[in-house]
Structure 1
């Protein structure tokens, strides 16, 4: 979970910067950033749905959630509300890439980042010890497998790249060691280059940020 959380920490921090780096009227670039935001939101919702399906029912059935389930659900709702504000400003920004819509969208994404970090910190501090104590290894590994299986096939290699980007060598070895042989070959032959090219295309304009 911590490795996946790093993805959401990194991408939610980058999101306001990516938006602010789009020039006035840069609708083509705005569309590119918006597509990335769509993928980010899809991944976050998928992650939360897996927790709701595969973690919380087991902790509750084993009398181990201690009321944390309600706290996590409330935080999920707060996160969803921040994303609703993002969704409200995206169409206006996509139409004209105007400075007002750009700043409002960036502010909404910054608020989302703040609320998300609180949730991720709580999960790592409060929930992961319960998972380690009350879930079996097979139950926990199912969460990871379903995380990739539930993604669109054309997004899987990019998701693998996002997970491995900030992973330690030990984490990389653990993650890839549990992937099927075909998956490991695809990552080495295609995935690494595909993810690197995607990052260059998306993040390249940040090199010229003006500090807006």
Structure 2
């Protein structure tokens, strides 16, 4: 999701948006490991809910990383010189994360079928490994790469990356994606982010989106749903 519609190349890109999106993946990968670990043996109904959530998460993470690989690094790399190694390292880490995601998907498929406790435990451990690997990658990207993006990428180029992500989000998931981004923001960050959205999106969020996101988190998290 992108939160700006300006194309003024003299304006610095809104890179704080990236940290907000990253926080979604940090939170959901952590919660997935915890929620899977809590599932009772043979509770296949609950296993199906979490398996569906994992698949949506994995598709979203892959789309996020593909957008960076195809649209962000190509415009950033020509400006970096010796610092290009840092951006290239991000691409390599994306490939490593894909391997871990494939491992989790295989274990998820096996666990979903019968919700056996031994499959659950192996899956939860793989999810915890994925969480640690992902956080290390996101931390490095925010620390090393986002300052370079702020220096060398125009607002128009940055906006195009966000538009790519928005285009790949199903329309019936847009408010859920917005809620996921806003969940862990401070009041100031929330106000700033919403102010950059078109007015119809802000109205839709207020009238329908907040309830839609609450229903989604209630379904996925149960007792853990946020208040």
TM-score of the superposed pair, with normalisation by structure 1 = 0.92
Could you tell me whether the CA contact under 8 Å between 2:87 and 2:145 is conserved in 1?
A: no
Large movers: runs of 4+ above 3 Å: none
State which of 57, 73, 76 in structure 2 corresponds to 1:56.
73
**Is there any run of 5+ residues in structure 1 with no aligned partner, and where?**
208-212
Q: Tell me how far apart the structure 2 counterparts of residues 159 and 103 of structure 1 sit (CA, whole Å).
A: 29
Q: Tell me how far apart the structure 2 counterparts of residues 110 and 43 of structure 1 sit (CA, whole Å).
A: 18
What is residue 19 of structure 1 aligned with on the other side? 36
In the comparison of the two structures, how many residue pairs are matched? Answer: 207
Secondary structure of the corresponding residue to residue 8 of structure 1: helix
What is residue 200 of structure 2 aligned with on the other side? 182
What is residue 7 of structure 2 aligned with on the other side? none
**Is there any run of 5+ residues in structure 2 with no aligned partner, and where?**
1-17
What is residue 157 of structure 2 aligned with on the other side? 139
1:124-176 superposed Cα distances (whole Å, 9 cap, x missing partner): 11000100110112222332333223211111111000000011223222322
- 1:77 Cα offset (Å): 1.4
1:92-144 superposed Cα distances (whole Å, 9 cap, x missing partner): 11110000110111011000001101100110110001001101122223323
- 1:205 Cα offset (Å): 4.5
TM-score of the superposed pair, with normalisation by structure 2 = 0.86
RMSD after superposition: 1.5
1:21-59 superposed Cα distances (whole Å, 9 cap, x missing partner): 111100011000111111110110111011112210011
Q: Tell me how far apart the structure 2 counterparts of residues 67 and 127 of structure 1 sit (CA, whole Å).
A: 11
What is residue 138 of structure 2 aligned with on the other side? 120
